[in-house]
Structure 1
């Protein structure tokens, strides 16, 4: 794309969701309730909880400027830390020391029907997969292109034509992400090791080595993305396709409506007590585990798939980023710039349709990179024809093209930051130990275990946060949001007209 095409790369939309566990002395998971000073996790727009009461999630609004989004995240971390007493934020993706599955408290959202449903959904996840898997932390990156880019690509179009063109283009991006997205765990995977308490009582055929209470694979990048981590074997048979928005929605809607024999054994309501929302393969759409998702902001009362069907794809959510342990906010500016480049390249690069054979091929490539990605000369498969290429050769080919996009982005935004990002990451292609997973494993060996790494970095970041000065927000603004969120929760609870049974019956009426 020539630089003459305006300043489209100044208008990229970015939003970040960062998950992190609260912990106390010696790296033990906190069992205290969500701090009242943070407001309501049901309605606070910046600070909520994910699966567990101790698993915080920090959310930024959409921003078109990288320094702004970094400042917002820093401010949210600072405000949250100031309300948590001596508890700290765990700086790693894999959990700190956890006594047992039952010691993990499910997130609570109050007495409203919608709040109770959120907790029940998590209860269902616990019965289905266990709680340990659910408290693995990650960073989600929401990304969109501006209308100016679509104008350049497609010219004048009717509203309906534009909606279809954008959805087709985003699904092309998604297919290329599946083909080449293993670059993300290669460069940014940060979970080559885990605490032995995480796998206590679980069978694994992985050839782990040991440092104290830490288990690790010498060349792994992201155990979080492996079968041990945040993936779901039960969903591997779903075969949800990405060739069009119609194919995707058809597969998703089928999964929501398909009964599961395994989950039916759990029961839905037993002796008056709910155990899960329903016994289908997916309780709700959010249960679909995927490294990337097509998204649209839903209107009030609208489900994610209904929003996509109504208005097409508005943005994509990248879900395969581990928490960066070397950043106090879990993600760095370099990572954001790489994602800008890689996602733009994935959109602009030819993207043929993908059959089940190729889907299996990318799964195999990702799994290789996840478990042994830092092995020099590791070979990956190209499509289903049996052709193979080393990770290094394939990565260099991609970077040859990323550098062309970096030149345009730098020309539009000023400076050389995108070119510098390409240069720095290229060094990691031929020097795997310079990747985040390589550096983290080296530090783990040096300090004698992952728990010691987490505690040392957690202490360091705690001090930084406590001395942080607001940049994007202010203490007054964040206090006001906390207060507003508590009042908003109260209003939702007071406005409920149905019993919880009636609410669930109404919510899932579309399945009948």
Structure 2
């Protein structure tokens, strides 16, 4: 409460909040198949363009905004980048769904290329390594990353631990991440939009999904198969579960992961037929390989490793990585979702965030998350809140009550009502699960009589 009081006395600082978006999206042809065409020349160089690049596949676009002081300017830029891509690539569409379109055989999924420079080859070989380690299909699942930072003044004002401002800021962001770990299950319930997958995507993959129609499989109460363990088993990363109690231990674990070999990857080797197939045989080739729903970040200098940047200059912002593409919005995210994310992340930063003791609470948070992505709309589901069983609805309303306090502070700072309105909009989803994106998508499939593939193609072409 003391930090909240301090915030209320200096709420003008909140207008220094910055946010940015990285939106992934597969390029598909008119038949809804993954594009086999190289990255369009009209979109510029995927290696150097600041706003349009590729992620894993040559056909997986990544649209990147700058950082913005308002949600309105953020979405204006994202819309402009999206429109530019569509205007210069009229023969294709951007897939309006996190789960992939029809993919070619595994060996024919094109890995992104970036030219023959050292940097370009490093990026390409890293992606070849991902294919060796996890398979190409899994790397074609798309999402949306929400980057968020708070005015640096706030961390000192709220008296986070540390002898220097850098230490206080890093401590504050780690507190945010711990609370995010506790409460991020609610994001999966409210915004998860991938309850189903196409039959072709699941071929040769062990799963427990049910048939929805001739071409679509699903789980009845799922919210986000993208964020589930569907087809994604990796022993090497399982020991890297991080609870972010302090920056030094995080940096040490990441350093170990990018420097210590892993037997299964040593068996693969780094070369095949004289060609590089992975950067190295370590647990992680580079830090970006770590699979997590949120990351502490620091802008890197040329040729600087992310872990080195964090060690030298501390945490600068967080990258939220668990948001699905919104299949009902042309650019994949609404203004209301952005306003809610700001309020949610501010709540995570300012409210009490005790360290995770080594008694399973951190693991329990991950279990809550895993349950919601597969069963979130099941009315009988009970989550574990510090050892007490509680429904999604009851705990969700409690969390929204707390978030709303911060939403109102943002409203006052920005002279708007959009933040508290965004929180109230989410309350309706807790009271009526049919209003969640995951339920709306399944209902749209039922009403249209279309498979997930055909429905998504129709919507993708409408927004081209």
What TM-score range do you get, normalising by the shorter chain?
over 0.9
1:101 and 2:132 are equivalent in the alignment: no
Indicate which of 202, 217, 226 corresponds to 2:228.
Answer: 226
Q: How has the CA–CA distance of structure 1 residues 377 and 392 changed in structure 2, closer, same or farther, with 3 Å as cutoff?
A: farther
**Retained in 2: the 8 A contact 1:231–1:289?**
no
After TM superposition, give the deviation of residue 391 of structure 1 in Å. Answer: 1.2
Aligned residues of 1:121 and 1:276 also touching (Cα < 8 A): yes
Q: CA deviation at 1:241?
A: 3.9
The answer to whether residue 400 in structure 2 is matched with residue 399 in structure 1 is: yes
Q: Offset of 1:148 from its aligned partner? A: 3.2
- 2:447 matched to which residue of 1? 446
Distance 1:255 1:244 in 2: 17
What secondary structure is seen at the aligned counterpart in 1 of 2:390?
strand
State the secondary structure of the residue aligned to 1:305.
helix
Residues 292, 318 of structure 1: 8 Å contact kept: yes
Secondary structure (helix, strand or coil) at the match of 1:330 reads coil
Higher relative contact order (CA 8 A, sep 6+): 1
- Shift of residue 6 of structure 1? 4.1
Whether 2:159 is the aligned partner of 1:161: answer no
SS in 2 for 1:28: coil
Does structure 1 retain, via aligned residues, the 8 Å contact 2:167–2:314? yes
Q: Distance in 2 between matches of 1:251 and 1:371?
A: 29
Map 1:347-496; keep pairs closer than 5 Å: 347-356=349-358, 357-383=360-386, 386-447=387-448, 448-462=450-464
Q: CA deviation at 1:5?
A: 1.1
Task: Check the 8 A contact 2:46/2:52 in 1, yes or no.
Answer: yes
Deviations 1:225-283 (A, max 9, x none): 01116774531122434100001011111111221111112111233221111111111
Per-residue CA deviation, residues 79-131 of structure 1 (Å, 9 max, x unaligned), is 11112131111010000011321221000100101101100000010011100
Instruction: Tell me, yes or no, if the aligned pair for 2:155 and 2:172 is still in contact at 8 Å.
Output: no
2:81 corresponds to 1:83:
no
Q: State the aligned residue count.
A: 457
Tell me which residue corresponds to 2:202.
Answer: 199
**Structure 1 residue aligned with 2:272:** 270
Q: What does residue 45 of structure 1 align with?
A: 50
3-state SS of the aligned residue for 1:248? helix
CA distance in 2, matches of 1:5, 1:119: 47
Q: What stretches of structure 2 of length at least 5 have no aligned partner?
A: none
Structure 1 range deviating more: 394-403 or 15-24: 394-403
Please report the TM-score for the alignment, with normalisation by the length of structure 2: 0.95
Mapping of residues 238-317 of structure 1, within 5 Å: 238-317=240-319
Equivalent in the alignment of 1:496: none
Moved more, 331-340 or 374-383: 374-383
C-alpha distance in 2 between matches for 1:226 and 1:349? 28
Alpha-carbon distance in 2 for matches of 1:283, 1:240: 18
Give the Cα–Cα distance (whole angstroms) in 1 for the partners of residues 167 and 230 of structure 2.
38
| Structure 1: segments with no counterpart, 5+ residues | 463-512
Residues 462-501 of structure 1, C-alpha deviations (whole Å, 9 max, x = no match) = 1xxxxxxxxxxxxxxxxxxxxxxxxxxxxxxxxxxxxxxx
Pick one of 181, 185, 189 that aligns with 1:186.
189
Specify the alignment match of 1:501 in structure 2. none
Find the counterpart in structure 1 of residue 126 from structure 2: 121
Deviates more, 1:163-172 or 1:354-363: 354-363
Residue 151 of structure 1 and its aligned partner are, at CA, apart by 4.2
Between the aligned partners of 2:271 and 2:416, the Cα distance in structure 1 is 60
For the 8 Å contact 2:53–2:61, the answer to whether it is kept is yes
Deviation at residue 387 of structure 1 after TM alignment = 2.0
Question: 3-state SS of the aligned residue for 1:293?
Answer: strand
RMSD: 1.6
| Deviation sequence 1:442-465 (CA, Å, 0-9, x none) | 112222210122112111111xxx
Which of 106, 110, 117 is the aligned partner of 1:112? 117
